[in-house]
């Protein structure tokens, strides 16, 4: 049986030191090509005006931005410490990205502002995924696409131990476990989606995570 979900944080990654350690971890994942960008493109994320929710240090969105036909790139991030790092990384990539401090549950953007919304590894931290899903619906244009990826809690002890031991730097390992314990299962995610405006979103399981994808139908 899968253990009950344990909330990790309702305020994102706020400390500067944690943000720097996370940057080192995320850069390592980027260098290994483990960032989910290919899956996002395969799911229909095509470019245009893109919004990323919870970009953290930014590598996932920046790698995607390199590969699609971009009109604009915006990040909505709750942590000022992460925004500073993402802005530095975007400059290094030579990509014009605008990172805005905000909460995915109540985003500072007008209706129908974006063509695509992406998010990786942030969902398990959202205080109310349903509110964020409703916001994704609101800010996407008709025909807009979304792809949200995250860990899943029910990967089992063997995979958990394997990932724990290979996670670098070592300081991030307790954070990996707390994130995993806060992550959702496919069934829980389907139930949350049913109660939101993304009710026809598709949830898929993979080796260690979940993806939620779909297209917005309005009017």
Ligand X SMILES: C[S@@+](CC[C@H](N)C(=O)[O-])C[C@H]1O[C@@H](n2cnc3c(N)ncnc32)[C@H](O)[C@@H]1O
Q: Tell me which residue of 60, 94, 101 sits closest to 79, measured CA to CA.
A: 101
CB nearer ligand X, residue 1 or residue 183:
183
CB nearer ligand X, residue 17 or residue 143:
17
Distance (Å, rounded) from C-alpha 169 to C-alpha 102? 28
Does residue number 211 form part of the binding site for ligand X (CB under 6 A)?
no
Which residues inside 38-77 make contact with ligand X, applying CB under 6 A? 53-56, 59-60, 76-77
Closest approach of Cβ 131 to ligand X, in Å?
9
Which residues inside 87-116 make contact with ligand X, applying CB under 6 A? 103-105
| Four-residue CA torsion sign, 90, 29, 187, 185 | negative
Alpha helices in the chain (DSSP H): 16-32, 37-42, 59-67, 80-93, 129-139, 157-166, 173-182, 186-194
49 by DSSP, 3-state: which?
Answer: strand
Closest approach of Cβ 106 to ligand X, in Å?
9
Beta-carbon contacts of 180 under 8 Å, excluding residues fewer than 6 positions away, are 151, 153, 155, 160
Which residues inside 113-142 make contact with ligand X, applying CB under 6 A? 120-122, 125-126
CB nearer ligand X, residue 23 or residue 49:
23
CB nearer ligand X, residue 10 or residue 161:
10
Q: How many residues bind ligand X (CB under 6 A)?
A: 22
CB nearer ligand X, residue 1 or residue 120:
120
Neighbours of 9 (CB within 10 A): 17
Phi, then psi, of 195 in degrees rounded to 5: -95, 15
Q: Tell me which residue of 80, 68, 81 sits closest to 19, measured CA to CA.
A: 81
- The residue ranges that bind ligand X (CB under 6 A) are 12-13, 26, 53-56, 59-60, 76-79, 82, 103-105, 120-122, 125-126
């Amino acid at each position: 049986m899968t253990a009950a979900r344990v909330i990790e944080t309702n305020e994102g990654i706020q400390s500067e030191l944690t943000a720097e350690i996370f940057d080192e971890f995320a850069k390592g994942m980027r260098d290994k090509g483990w960032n989910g960008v290919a899956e996002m493109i395969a799911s229909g994320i095509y470019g245009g005006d893109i919004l990323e929710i919870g970009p953290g240090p930014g590598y996932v969105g920046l790698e995607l931005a390199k590969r699609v036909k971009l009109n604009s790139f915006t990040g909505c991030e709750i942590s000022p410490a992460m925004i500073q790092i993402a802005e530095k990384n975007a400059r290094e990539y030579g990509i014009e990205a605008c990172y805005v401090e905000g909460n995915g549950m109540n985003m500072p953007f007008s209706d129908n502002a974006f063509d695509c919304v992406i998010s990786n590894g942030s969902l398990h931290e959202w205080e109310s995924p349903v509110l964020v899903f409703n916001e994704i619906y609101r800010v996407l244009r008709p025909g807009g696409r979304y792809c949200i990826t995250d860990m899943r809690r029910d990967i089992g002890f063997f995979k958990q131990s394997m990932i724990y031991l290979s996670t670098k730097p070592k300081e991030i390992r307790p954070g990996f476990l707390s994130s995993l314990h806060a992550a959702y299962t496919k069934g829980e995610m389907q139930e949350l989606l049913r109660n939101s405006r993304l009710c026809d979103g598709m949830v898929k399981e993979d080796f260690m995570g979940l993806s939620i994808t779909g297209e917005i139908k309005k009017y």
